[in-house]
A and B are shown apart, each in its own frame.
Chain A
Amino acid sequence: SQQGEEDPQALSIQEGENATMNCSYKTSINNLQWYRQNSGRGLVHLILIRSNEREKHSGRLRVTLDTSKKSSSLLITASRAADTASYFCATDAAGIGGSEKLVFGKGMKLTVNP
C-alpha cells in the first residue's frame, strides 16, 4: 500500500526562489529518503534521514523529519532551472512491523522557470 504522499503534487516557481515539498506517511519508519528524477532518467538519491534525526542538510537541500506528525519536508533554497524534476519521498519501515521494502510516494513535479 502507498506509504509516502508528497504535497503539493506540482509546484512552479521562479529561479532563485525557495521550493518546499512535503511528505506524509502512515506507519513508523526506520528512515525516510528523498529522490529526484529528471525527465526520462533514473532516480537519484538526495538525502536519507533516520528516524532519530530531525534535520539534515546537503548543499542547497534541507530535510526535516517530524515523526510525531509522520511528516517530512524537503526545502531547496535558491532554486535553479536545473532543479526542474520530479521529487519522491520513500519510507523504509523494515523490521519494525512495516514492509521490508522501500515504499515510494507518487512524486511531485517541480518546475523552476528561468
Chain B
Amino acid sequence: DTAVSQTPKYLVTQMGNDKSIKCEQNLGHDTMYWYKQDSKKFLKIMFSYNNKELIINETVPNRFSPKSPDKAHLNLHINSLELGDSAVYFCASSPAWRGYEQYFGPGTRLTVT
C-alpha cells in the first residue's frame, strides 16, 4: 500500500488556469506538508498542517491555498497559474510536527505553458 500518494502525477496546463493537487497519507500521521522543488532540485517548504491546523505558511503567493479536510488529506489549490509555478510539488507527512522524519509522496510535475 502506498504510504503517501499524490494525484495527478503530471499536470500540464496553460497560464491563467486554476488547478488542484491532492495528497493522501495512510500512515496515521498528524502532520502534512507541501514542498516545491525547482529545476535545480532545490526543495522549499510551502505549507504545513498539524491535526488540520495550519502551522507553517511560507512566503508563497496567495494564489496558492492549501486545504486539509482531515488529518489524512492535504490538498493544494493554485489559482491563476503562472510560468514560474512550473516545478515538482511534493506532499509529505510525519508522525508529529517536530523532531521526526518525513515521508514523501511521488511528486506532481506541474508544467505551465
A residues neighboring B (CB under 8 Å): 30-31, 33, 35, 37, 40-45, 48, 86, 88, 92, 94-95, 100-104, 106-107
Contacts and interface: CB of A to CB of B under 8 A. Distances in A.
Nearest to A102: B102
A100 B90 contact: no
B66 interface: no
A90 to B, nearest CB: 8
A92 B98 contact: yes
Contacts of B42: 104, 106-107
Contacts of B4: 42
A42 B41 contact: no
Contacts of A45: 101-103
A21 to B, nearest CB: 15
B107 A42 contact: yes
B106 A86 contact: no
A103 B56 CA distance: 13
B100 to A, nearest CB: 8
Given A42-B4, A102-B102, A106-B40, 16 more contacts: A30-B99, A42-B90, A42-B106, A43-B90, A43-B92, A44-B104, A45-B102, A86-B41, A92-B99, A94-B99, A100-B55, A100-B98, A101-B58, A102-B45, A104-B43, A106-B41
Contacts of A101: 45, 48, 56, 58
